Protein backbone atom coordinates (compact mmCIF):
# COMPACT_ATOMS: atom_id res chain seq x y z
CA UNK A 1 0.00 0.00 0.00
CA UNK A 2 1.04 3.59 -0.57
CA UNK A 3 -0.29 6.42 1.59
CA UNK A 4 -0.26 10.15 0.87
CA UNK A 5 -2.00 13.20 2.27
CA UNK A 6 -4.17 15.18 -0.15
CA UNK A 7 -6.22 18.33 0.20
CA UNK A 8 -9.94 18.24 -0.35
CA UNK A 9 -9.70 20.18 -3.61
CA UNK A 10 -6.89 17.97 -4.90
CA UNK A 11 -8.97 14.89 -4.18
CA UNK A 12 -11.93 16.34 -6.03
CA UNK A 13 -9.85 17.23 -9.06
CA UNK A 14 -7.85 14.00 -9.47
CA UNK A 15 -8.40 12.80 -13.01
CA UNK A 16 -9.91 9.34 -13.34
CA UNK A 17 -11.22 9.21 -9.76
CA UNK A 18 -14.50 7.25 -9.38
CA UNK A 19 -16.52 5.08 -6.98
CA UNK A 20 -15.83 1.34 -7.20
CA UNK A 21 -18.53 -1.26 -8.00
CA UNK A 22 -18.53 -2.23 -4.30
CA UNK A 23 -20.12 1.03 -3.16
CA UNK A 24 -23.81 1.25 -2.29
CA UNK A 25 -24.39 4.82 -3.33
CA UNK A 26 -25.17 7.45 -0.73
CA UNK A 27 -26.56 5.93 2.50
CA UNK A 28 -25.86 8.41 5.32
CA UNK A 29 -28.88 9.32 7.42
CA UNK A 30 -29.74 12.95 8.18
CA UNK A 31 -28.37 12.82 11.73
CA UNK A 32 -24.97 11.66 10.52
CA UNK A 33 -24.84 14.41 7.87
CA UNK A 34 -25.59 17.04 10.52
CA UNK A 35 -22.92 15.64 12.88
CA UNK A 36 -20.30 15.68 10.12
CA UNK A 37 -21.09 19.29 9.20
CA UNK A 38 -21.01 20.29 12.88
CA UNK A 39 -17.46 18.91 13.18
CA UNK A 40 -16.41 21.03 10.20
CA UNK A 41 -18.08 24.11 11.69
CA UNK A 42 -16.27 23.57 15.00
CA UNK A 43 -12.93 23.35 13.20
CA UNK A 44 -13.78 26.53 11.27
CA UNK A 45 -14.69 28.44 14.46
CA UNK A 46 -11.28 27.52 15.92
CA UNK A 47 -9.46 28.09 12.61
CA UNK A 48 -7.64 24.78 12.83
CA UNK A 49 -6.86 22.15 10.24
CA UNK A 50 -9.18 19.16 10.05
CA UNK A 51 -8.38 15.60 8.98
CA UNK A 52 -11.36 13.94 7.29
CA UNK A 53 -10.15 10.35 7.45
CA UNK A 54 -8.79 7.80 5.03
CA UNK A 55 -9.85 7.18 1.43
CA UNK A 56 -9.02 3.66 0.25
CA UNK A 57 -8.57 3.15 -3.50
CA UNK A 58 -7.26 0.68 -6.06
CA UNK A 59 -6.27 1.35 -9.66
CA UNK A 60 -8.04 -0.33 -12.56
CA UNK A 61 -7.28 0.54 -16.20
CA UNK A 62 -5.91 3.93 -15.24
CA UNK A 63 -8.86 4.85 -13.02
CA UNK A 64 -8.67 5.18 -9.22
CA UNK A 65 -11.66 3.28 -7.77
CA UNK A 66 -12.78 4.20 -4.25
CA UNK A 67 -13.27 1.29 -1.84
CA UNK A 68 -13.91 3.28 1.33
CA UNK A 69 -14.56 6.93 2.17
CA UNK A 70 -17.13 7.66 -0.52
CA UNK A 71 -19.82 8.97 1.86
CA UNK A 72 -17.53 11.69 3.24
CA UNK A 73 -16.36 12.63 -0.23
CA UNK A 74 -19.94 13.03 -1.47
CA UNK A 75 -20.80 15.32 1.47
CA UNK A 76 -17.68 17.43 0.87
CA UNK A 77 -18.46 17.68 -2.86
CA UNK A 78 -21.98 18.81 -2.02
CA UNK A 79 -20.65 21.50 0.31
CA UNK A 80 -18.15 22.71 -2.31
CA UNK A 81 -20.83 22.86 -4.97
CA UNK A 82 -23.12 24.87 -2.68
CA UNK A 83 -20.33 27.28 -1.78
CA UNK A 84 -19.36 27.74 -5.45
CA UNK A 85 -22.96 28.00 -6.70
CA UNK A 86 -22.80 24.78 -8.76
CA UNK A 87 -26.10 23.20 -9.86
CA UNK A 88 -24.93 19.60 -10.02
CA UNK A 89 -27.73 17.01 -9.65
CA UNK A 90 -27.36 15.12 -6.36
CA UNK A 91 -30.76 13.34 -6.51
CA UNK A 92 -29.27 9.83 -6.53
CA UNK A 93 -31.78 8.71 -3.91
CA UNK A 94 -33.91 10.09 -1.08
CA UNK A 95 -31.02 10.23 1.39
CA UNK A 96 -28.79 12.22 -0.95
CA UNK A 97 -31.63 14.69 -1.52
CA UNK A 98 -32.19 14.98 2.23
CA UNK A 99 -28.47 15.51 2.78
CA UNK A 100 -28.35 18.29 0.19
CA UNK A 101 -31.36 20.01 1.78
CA UNK A 102 -29.71 19.85 5.22
CA UNK A 103 -26.43 21.28 3.91
CA UNK A 104 -28.24 24.09 2.07
CA UNK A 105 -29.95 25.07 5.31
CA UNK A 106 -26.71 24.94 7.32
CA UNK A 107 -24.68 26.94 4.81
CA UNK A 108 -27.43 29.56 4.48
CA UNK A 109 -26.96 30.33 8.19
CA UNK A 110 -23.20 30.96 7.91
CA UNK A 111 -22.53 34.70 8.05
CA UNK A 112 -19.02 34.84 6.54
CA UNK A 113 -19.31 32.40 3.64
CA UNK A 114 -16.14 33.55 1.86
CA UNK A 115 -14.01 32.82 4.94
CA UNK A 116 -15.74 29.49 5.40
CA UNK A 117 -15.12 28.57 1.73
CA UNK A 118 -11.45 29.49 2.01
CA UNK A 119 -11.11 27.43 5.21
CA UNK A 120 -12.94 24.52 3.62
CA UNK A 121 -10.64 24.42 0.59
CA UNK A 122 -7.36 25.03 2.39
CA UNK A 123 -7.56 23.33 5.78
CA UNK A 124 -9.43 20.09 5.14
CA UNK A 125 -7.51 17.00 4.01
CA UNK A 126 -7.73 13.24 3.57
CA UNK A 127 -5.15 10.51 3.56
CA UNK A 128 -5.25 8.60 0.28
CA UNK A 129 -4.35 4.91 0.60
CA UNK A 130 -3.79 3.01 -2.63
CA UNK A 131 -3.58 -0.77 -2.90
CA UNK A 132 -0.48 -1.64 -4.90
CA UNK A 133 -1.99 -4.88 -6.18
CA UNK A 134 -5.52 -6.10 -6.79
CA UNK A 135 -4.52 -9.56 -5.63
CA UNK A 136 -5.45 -8.67 -2.05
CA UNK A 137 -8.54 -6.68 -3.01
CA UNK A 138 -11.10 -9.07 -1.54
CA UNK A 139 -9.10 -9.63 1.64
CA UNK A 140 -8.92 -5.87 2.15
CA UNK A 141 -12.63 -5.54 1.40
CA UNK A 142 -13.51 -8.18 4.00
CA UNK A 143 -11.33 -6.47 6.62
CA UNK A 144 -13.11 -3.17 5.97
CA UNK A 145 -16.46 -4.92 6.11
CA UNK A 146 -15.68 -6.64 9.40
CA UNK A 147 -14.43 -3.49 11.11
CA UNK A 148 -16.82 -0.88 9.68
CA UNK A 149 -19.73 -2.81 8.13
CA UNK A 150 -19.25 -0.59 5.10
CA UNK A 151 -20.39 -3.11 2.52
CA UNK A 152 -23.30 -5.52 2.10
CA UNK A 153 -23.78 -8.74 0.15
CA UNK A 154 -25.28 -6.71 -2.70
CA UNK A 155 -22.09 -4.68 -3.04
CA UNK A 156 -19.83 -7.73 -3.06
CA UNK A 157 -22.13 -9.51 -5.52
CA UNK A 158 -22.10 -6.56 -7.87
CA UNK A 159 -18.33 -6.36 -7.80
CA UNK A 160 -18.00 -10.07 -8.54
CA UNK A 161 -20.38 -9.81 -11.49
CA UNK A 162 -18.84 -6.74 -13.05
CA UNK A 163 -15.25 -7.90 -12.58
CA UNK A 164 -16.18 -11.24 -14.16
CA UNK A 165 -17.97 -9.75 -17.15
CA UNK A 166 -16.17 -6.40 -17.53
CA UNK A 167 -19.25 -5.45 -19.54
CA UNK A 168 -20.88 -2.02 -19.38
CA UNK A 169 -24.26 -3.50 -20.40
CA UNK A 170 -24.54 -5.54 -17.19
CA UNK A 171 -23.38 -2.55 -15.16
CA UNK A 172 -26.10 -0.39 -16.71
CA UNK A 173 -28.76 -3.02 -16.05
CA UNK A 174 -27.63 -3.32 -12.42
CA UNK A 175 -27.62 0.44 -11.82
CA UNK A 176 -30.94 0.94 -13.60
CA UNK A 177 -32.68 -1.78 -11.57
CA UNK A 178 -31.18 -0.51 -8.33
CA UNK A 179 -32.53 2.99 -9.05
CA UNK A 180 -35.95 1.47 -9.75
CA UNK A 181 -35.85 -0.18 -6.31
CA UNK A 182 -34.44 2.86 -4.49
CA UNK A 183 -37.44 4.87 -5.68
CA UNK A 184 -39.92 2.06 -6.07
CA UNK A 185 -41.96 -0.69 -4.46
CA UNK A 186 -39.52 -3.49 -3.62
CA UNK A 187 -36.08 -3.80 -2.02
CA UNK A 188 -33.21 -4.49 -4.41
CA UNK A 189 -32.13 -7.70 -2.64
CA UNK A 190 -35.67 -9.06 -3.01
CA UNK A 191 -35.71 -8.22 -6.70
CA UNK A 192 -32.38 -9.99 -7.23
CA UNK A 193 -33.65 -13.15 -5.57
CA UNK A 194 -36.96 -13.01 -7.47
CA UNK A 195 -35.16 -12.60 -10.79
CA UNK A 196 -32.81 -15.46 -9.95
CA UNK A 197 -35.65 -17.80 -9.01
CA UNK A 198 -37.51 -16.91 -12.22
CA UNK A 199 -34.48 -18.04 -14.22
CA UNK A 200 -35.54 -21.66 -13.49
CA UNK A 201 -32.06 -22.86 -12.60
CA UNK A 202 -33.57 -25.89 -10.92
CA UNK A 203 -33.00 -25.23 -7.23
CA UNK A 204 -34.93 -23.43 -4.50
CA UNK A 205 -33.63 -19.93 -3.82
CA UNK A 206 -35.95 -18.71 -1.08
CA UNK A 207 -34.29 -18.67 2.33
CA UNK A 208 -30.76 -18.37 0.99
CA UNK A 209 -28.54 -15.35 1.35
CA UNK A 210 -27.62 -13.50 -1.83
CA UNK A 211 -24.04 -14.70 -2.00
CA UNK A 212 -25.06 -18.30 -1.33
CA UNK A 213 -27.83 -18.16 -3.94
CA UNK A 214 -25.39 -17.10 -6.67
CA UNK A 215 -22.55 -19.38 -5.61
CA UNK A 216 -21.21 -21.56 -8.44
CA UNK A 217 -23.37 -20.06 -11.21
CA UNK A 218 -21.93 -20.34 -14.69
CA UNK A 219 -21.33 -17.37 -16.97
CA UNK A 220 -24.33 -18.45 -19.06
CA UNK A 221 -26.55 -18.56 -15.99
CA UNK A 222 -25.40 -15.13 -14.86
CA UNK A 223 -26.04 -13.72 -18.33
CA UNK A 224 -29.55 -15.21 -18.24
CA UNK A 225 -30.04 -13.69 -14.79
CA UNK A 226 -29.22 -10.18 -16.04
CA UNK A 227 -31.68 -10.57 -18.92
CA UNK A 228 -34.40 -11.71 -16.52
CA UNK A 229 -33.59 -8.91 -14.06
CA UNK A 230 -34.02 -6.29 -16.77
CA UNK A 231 -37.23 -7.92 -17.98
CA UNK A 232 -39.01 -8.10 -14.62
CA UNK A 233 -37.97 -4.56 -13.67
CA UNK A 234 -40.11 -3.23 -16.52
CA UNK A 235 -43.25 -4.05 -14.55
CA UNK A 236 -42.26 -2.15 -11.41
CA UNK A 237 -43.53 1.39 -10.80
CA UNK A 238 -40.82 3.84 -9.79
CA UNK A 239 -40.49 7.49 -8.76
CA UNK A 240 -38.49 10.03 -10.73
CA UNK A 241 -36.14 12.60 -9.18
CA UNK A 242 -39.15 14.82 -8.45
CA UNK A 243 -40.90 12.03 -6.55
CA UNK A 244 -43.55 11.51 -9.24
CA UNK A 245 -44.67 7.92 -9.84
CA UNK A 246 -44.35 6.48 -13.33
CA UNK A 247 -43.76 3.35 -15.44
CA UNK A 248 -40.98 2.31 -17.77
CA UNK A 249 -41.81 3.39 -21.33
CA UNK A 250 -40.65 0.00 -22.63
CA UNK A 251 -43.55 -1.62 -20.75
CA UNK A 252 -45.85 -0.54 -23.59
CA UNK A 253 -43.60 -2.39 -26.04
CA UNK A 254 -43.68 -5.44 -23.79
CA UNK A 255 -47.48 -5.39 -23.50
CA UNK A 256 -47.95 -4.42 -27.13
CA UNK A 257 -50.58 -1.80 -26.38
CA UNK A 258 -50.93 1.80 -25.26
CA UNK A 259 -51.18 2.36 -21.52
CA UNK A 260 -53.96 4.84 -20.76
CA UNK A 261 -53.41 7.33 -17.95
CA UNK A 262 -56.25 5.89 -15.86
CA UNK A 263 -54.83 2.37 -16.10
CA UNK A 264 -51.33 3.62 -15.27
CA UNK A 265 -52.61 5.36 -12.14
CA UNK A 266 -54.53 2.32 -10.87
CA UNK A 267 -51.64 -0.05 -11.59
CA UNK A 268 -49.20 2.17 -9.68
CA UNK A 269 -51.65 2.63 -6.79
CA UNK A 270 -52.08 -1.14 -6.41
CA UNK A 271 -48.32 -1.69 -6.23
CA UNK A 272 -47.78 1.10 -3.71
CA UNK A 273 -50.65 -0.22 -1.55
CA UNK A 274 -49.26 -3.77 -1.44
CA UNK A 275 -45.66 -2.67 -0.85
CA UNK A 276 -46.77 -0.76 2.25
CA UNK A 277 -49.62 -2.95 3.53
CA UNK A 278 -47.84 -6.30 3.29
CA UNK A 279 -44.80 -7.48 5.22
CA UNK A 280 -41.57 -7.65 3.17
CA UNK A 281 -41.74 -11.44 3.05
CA UNK A 282 -45.42 -11.59 2.08
CA UNK A 283 -44.99 -8.86 -0.55
CA UNK A 284 -41.90 -10.61 -1.93
CA UNK A 285 -43.87 -13.82 -2.45
CA UNK A 286 -46.81 -12.01 -4.04
CA UNK A 287 -44.50 -10.13 -6.37
CA UNK A 288 -42.62 -13.29 -7.35
CA UNK A 289 -45.89 -15.00 -8.33
CA UNK A 290 -47.04 -11.94 -10.23
CA UNK A 291 -43.79 -11.59 -12.18
CA UNK A 292 -43.78 -15.32 -12.94
CA UNK A 293 -47.28 -14.87 -14.38
CA UNK A 294 -46.34 -11.96 -16.64
CA UNK A 295 -43.11 -13.62 -17.81
CA UNK A 296 -44.68 -17.00 -18.57
CA UNK A 297 -48.11 -15.90 -19.83
CA UNK A 298 -47.43 -12.49 -21.46
CA UNK A 299 -50.98 -11.40 -20.52
CA UNK A 300 -52.74 -8.26 -21.84
CA UNK A 301 -52.76 -5.29 -19.51
CA UNK A 302 -56.44 -5.91 -18.59
CA UNK A 303 -55.35 -9.06 -16.71
CA UNK A 304 -52.52 -7.52 -14.66
CA UNK A 305 -54.47 -5.60 -12.00
CA UNK A 306 -57.06 -8.36 -11.37
CA UNK A 307 -54.32 -10.99 -11.09
CA UNK A 308 -52.32 -8.97 -8.56
CA UNK A 309 -55.48 -8.24 -6.55
CA UNK A 310 -56.26 -11.97 -6.55
CA UNK A 311 -52.80 -12.77 -5.16
CA UNK A 312 -53.46 -10.27 -2.37
CA UNK A 313 -56.83 -11.90 -1.68
CA UNK A 314 -55.34 -15.39 -1.57
CA UNK A 315 -53.33 -14.23 1.43
CA UNK A 316 -56.40 -12.88 3.22
CA UNK A 317 -58.37 -14.98 5.66
CA UNK A 318 -62.06 -14.84 4.77
CA UNK A 319 -64.25 -13.41 7.53
CA UNK A 320 -67.94 -13.97 8.14
CA UNK A 321 -67.76 -11.80 11.22
CA UNK A 322 -65.76 -8.58 11.37
CA UNK A 323 -65.70 -8.04 15.13
CA UNK A 324 -61.91 -8.32 15.11
CA UNK A 325 -61.88 -4.78 13.66
CA UNK A 326 -63.39 -3.37 16.88
CA UNK A 327 -60.14 -3.50 18.84
CA UNK A 328 -59.02 0.11 18.84
CA UNK A 329 -55.26 0.56 18.49
CA UNK A 330 -54.74 -3.22 18.20
CA UNK A 331 -56.41 -3.49 14.78
CA UNK A 332 -54.02 -4.83 12.14
CA UNK A 333 -52.94 -1.88 9.95
CA UNK A 334 -53.34 -3.97 6.81
CA UNK A 335 -57.13 -3.57 6.89
CA UNK A 336 -56.93 0.25 6.89
CA UNK A 337 -54.57 0.19 3.89
CA UNK A 338 -56.76 -2.33 2.07
CA UNK A 339 -59.89 -0.27 2.70
CA UNK A 340 -58.23 2.90 1.39
CA UNK A 341 -57.13 1.06 -1.76
CA UNK A 342 -60.69 -0.06 -2.54
CA UNK A 343 -62.06 3.38 -1.66
CA UNK A 344 -59.62 4.76 -4.23
CA UNK A 345 -60.57 2.07 -6.74
CA UNK A 346 -64.30 2.83 -6.33
CA UNK A 347 -63.86 6.58 -5.97
CA UNK A 348 -66.40 7.47 -8.68
CA UNK A 349 -69.18 6.04 -6.52
CA UNK A 350 -68.55 8.88 -4.07
CA UNK A 351 -68.27 11.80 -6.49
CA UNK A 352 -71.32 13.49 -4.91
CA UNK A 353 -69.69 13.51 -1.48
CA UNK A 354 -67.79 16.74 -0.83
CA UNK A 355 -65.62 18.01 1.97
CA UNK A 356 -64.25 21.52 1.79
CA UNK A 357 -63.98 22.53 -1.87
CA UNK A 358 -63.33 19.07 -3.31
CA UNK A 359 -65.32 15.95 -4.05
CA UNK A 360 -64.21 12.68 -2.55
CA UNK A 361 -63.39 11.38 -6.05
CA UNK A 362 -60.97 14.29 -6.59
CA UNK A 363 -59.33 13.72 -3.20
CA UNK A 364 -58.95 9.98 -3.84
CA UNK A 365 -57.51 10.56 -7.32
CA UNK A 366 -54.44 12.31 -5.89
CA UNK A 367 -54.15 10.15 -2.76
CA UNK A 368 -50.80 8.43 -2.16
CA UNK A 369 -50.08 5.51 0.12
CA UNK A 370 -47.43 6.12 2.77
CA UNK A 371 -46.27 4.28 5.86
CA UNK A 372 -48.46 5.25 8.81
CA UNK A 373 -48.08 4.21 12.41
CA UNK A 374 -50.87 5.60 14.60
CA UNK A 375 -54.55 4.72 14.98
CA UNK A 376 -56.70 7.78 15.60
CA UNK A 377 -60.04 7.81 17.44
CA UNK A 378 -62.35 10.20 15.59
CA UNK A 379 -64.44 10.65 18.72
CA UNK A 380 -61.57 11.44 21.14
CA UNK A 381 -60.87 8.89 23.86
CA UNK A 382 -60.99 11.73 26.42
CA UNK A 383 -64.60 12.40 25.35
CA UNK A 384 -65.71 8.78 25.27
CA UNK A 385 -68.61 9.42 27.65
CA UNK A 386 -70.22 12.24 25.65
CA UNK A 387 -73.62 11.71 24.01
CA UNK A 388 -74.31 8.06 23.18
CA UNK A 389 -70.61 7.05 23.41
CA UNK A 390 -69.04 4.75 25.99
CA UNK A 391 -65.47 3.75 26.79
CA UNK A 392 -66.02 0.45 24.97
CA UNK A 393 -67.77 1.81 21.90
CA UNK A 394 -64.97 4.31 21.17
CA UNK A 395 -62.88 1.38 19.86
CA UNK A 396 -65.23 0.31 17.06
CA UNK A 397 -63.79 0.31 13.54
CA UNK A 398 -66.17 3.08 12.45
CA UNK A 399 -64.47 5.43 14.91
CA UNK A 400 -60.91 4.61 13.83
CA UNK A 401 -58.48 5.81 11.17
CA UNK A 402 -54.83 5.05 10.46
CA UNK A 403 -52.70 8.21 10.27
CA UNK A 404 -49.18 9.40 11.08
CA UNK A 405 -47.99 9.92 14.64
CA UNK A 406 -47.36 13.62 13.97
CA UNK A 407 -50.87 14.21 12.63
CA UNK A 408 -52.39 12.23 15.50
CA UNK A 409 -50.49 14.38 18.00
CA UNK A 410 -51.74 17.55 16.33
CA UNK A 411 -55.35 16.37 16.66
CA UNK A 412 -54.87 15.25 20.26
CA UNK A 413 -58.12 15.64 22.24
CA UNK A 414 -59.72 18.27 20.01
CA UNK A 415 -63.43 18.18 19.23
CA UNK A 416 -64.52 16.57 15.97
CA UNK A 417 -65.47 20.00 14.65
CA UNK A 418 -61.94 21.30 15.27
CA UNK A 419 -60.48 18.14 13.76
CA UNK A 420 -62.57 18.57 10.63
CA UNK A 421 -61.01 22.00 10.07
CA UNK A 422 -57.57 20.36 10.13
CA UNK A 423 -58.73 17.63 7.74
CA UNK A 424 -59.93 20.28 5.29
CA UNK A 425 -56.58 22.06 5.58
CA UNK A 426 -54.82 18.75 4.88
CA UNK A 427 -56.99 18.25 1.80
CA UNK A 428 -56.11 21.72 0.48
CA UNK A 429 -52.40 20.97 0.92
CA UNK A 430 -52.71 17.61 -0.84
CA UNK A 431 -51.51 15.70 2.23
CA UNK A 432 -54.47 13.41 2.97
CA UNK A 433 -53.42 10.41 5.07
CA UNK A 434 -56.67 8.41 5.26
CA UNK A 435 -59.51 8.17 2.73
CA UNK A 436 -61.63 6.41 5.36
CA UNK A 437 -61.16 9.43 7.61
CA UNK A 438 -62.15 11.84 4.83
CA UNK A 439 -65.42 9.96 4.27
CA UNK A 440 -66.19 10.01 8.00
CA UNK A 441 -65.55 13.76 8.36
CA UNK A 442 -67.63 14.48 5.26
CA UNK A 443 -70.63 13.42 7.38
CA UNK A 444 -69.73 15.53 10.41
CA UNK A 445 -71.23 18.97 11.02
CA UNK A 446 -71.26 19.61 14.75
CA UNK A 447 -71.04 16.18 16.39
CA UNK A 448 -69.99 12.62 15.62
CA UNK A 449 -72.42 10.25 17.32
CA UNK A 450 -72.05 6.53 17.97
CA UNK A 451 -74.92 5.92 15.56
CA UNK A 452 -73.07 7.83 12.80
CA UNK A 453 -69.91 5.84 13.50
CA UNK A 454 -71.80 2.54 13.32
CA UNK A 455 -73.41 3.50 10.01
CA UNK A 456 -70.00 4.50 8.65
CA UNK A 457 -68.57 1.20 9.87
CA UNK A 458 -71.26 -0.83 8.10
CA UNK A 459 -70.47 0.92 4.82
CA UNK A 460 -66.73 0.36 5.21
CA UNK A 461 -67.12 -3.35 6.07
CA UNK A 462 -69.39 -3.78 3.03
CA UNK A 463 -66.53 -2.45 0.86
CA UNK A 464 -64.11 -4.92 2.44
CA UNK A 465 -66.59 -7.78 1.96
CA UNK A 466 -67.14 -6.86 -1.70
CA UNK A 467 -63.38 -6.74 -2.30
CA UNK A 468 -63.16 -10.41 -1.23
CA UNK A 469 -66.22 -11.69 -3.13
CA UNK A 470 -64.45 -13.32 -6.06
CA UNK A 471 -61.90 -14.98 -3.79
DSSP summary character for residue 377: E
3-state secondary structure of 67: strand
Q: Are the CB atoms for 307 and 471 separated by under 8 Å?
A: no
d(CA 164, CA 249): 30
Start-end of H helices in 30-112: 30-45, 70-84, 94-108
Q: Are the CB atoms for 337 and 369 separated by under 8 Å?
A: yes
pLDDT band at 170 (very low <50, low <70, confident <90, very high): confident
Question: Assign residue 166 a region: left if phi > 0, alpha if psi is -120 to 50, beta otherwise?
Answer: left
pTM of the entire structure? 0.70
- % the chain with pLDDT above 90: 41
Tell me which of 50-59, 281-290, 459-468 is least confident: 50-59
- What does the longest C-alpha to C-alpha distance in the chain come to? 80
> At residue 185, does pLDDT exceed 80?
yes
> At residue 49, does pLDDT exceed 70?
yes
Tell me which of 39-53, 175-189, 431-445 is least confident: 39-53
SS3 assignment for 399-412? HEEEECHHHHHHHC
Q: What value, to the nearest 5°, has the Cα angle with vertex 156 and ends 152 and 159? A: 140
Predicted confidence at residue 162, as pLDDT, reads 62
Q: Are the CB atoms for 89 and 17 separated by under 8 Å?
A: no
Residue ranges covered by each domain of the chain:
1-150, 152-315, 323-467
> At residue 16, does pLDDT exceed 60?
no
d(CA 304, CA 2): 56
> At residue 228, does pLDDT exceed 70?
yes
Tell me which of 94-98, 135-139, 154-158, 291-295 is least confident: 135-139
Alpha carbon dihedral 166, 170, 176, 178, in 10-degree steps, equals -80
Dihedral over Cα of 217, 221, 227, 231: its sign: negative
d(CA 420, CA 321): 31
Cα→Cα distances 444→117, 188, 383, 384, Å = 57, 44, 16, 17
Predicted confidence at residue 1, as pLDDT, reads 47
Tell me which of 138-152, 310-324, 454-468 is least confident: 138-152
Q: What is the pLDDT of residues 192-216, one digit of tens each?
A: 989 988 987 656 665 556 777 777 7
DSSP summary character for residue 184: B
Predicted confidence at residue 303, as pLDDT, reads 96
Tell me which of 127-131, 157-161, 237-241 is least confident: 157-161
3-state secondary structure of 273: helix
Predicted confidence at residue 142, as pLDDT, reads 56
> At residue 175, does pLDDT exceed 90?
no
Q: Which residues pair with 122 in a beta bridge?
A: none
Q: Which residue has the higher pLDDT, 338 or 92?
A: 338
Give mean pLDDT, residues 32-54: 83
Q: Which of 247, 244, 273 is nearest to 258 (CA)?
A: 247
Q: Which residue has the higher pLDDT, 321 or 1?
A: 321
Q: Which residue has the higher pLDDT, 386 or 296?
A: 296
Mean residue pLDDT of the chain comes to 84
Q: What value, to the nearest 5°, has the Cα angle with vertex 221 and ends 220 and 222? A: 90
> At residue 21, does pLDDT exceed 90?
no
Amino acid sequence: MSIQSVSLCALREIEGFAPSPFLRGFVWESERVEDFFLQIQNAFSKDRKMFLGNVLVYEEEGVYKILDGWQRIVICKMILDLLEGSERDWSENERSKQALAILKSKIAKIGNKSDFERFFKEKLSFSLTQLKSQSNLYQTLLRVQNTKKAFEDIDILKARFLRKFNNSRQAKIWQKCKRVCDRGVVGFSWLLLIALELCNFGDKIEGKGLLEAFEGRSAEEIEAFFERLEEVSLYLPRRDSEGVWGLEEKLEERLGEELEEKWRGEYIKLFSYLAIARSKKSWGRILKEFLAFVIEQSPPKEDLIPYLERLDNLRCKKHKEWGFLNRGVEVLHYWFYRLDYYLYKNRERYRDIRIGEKSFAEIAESYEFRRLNSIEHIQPQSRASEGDWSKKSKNIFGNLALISQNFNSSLNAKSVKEKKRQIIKQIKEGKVESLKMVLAYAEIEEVWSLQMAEEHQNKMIKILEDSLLYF
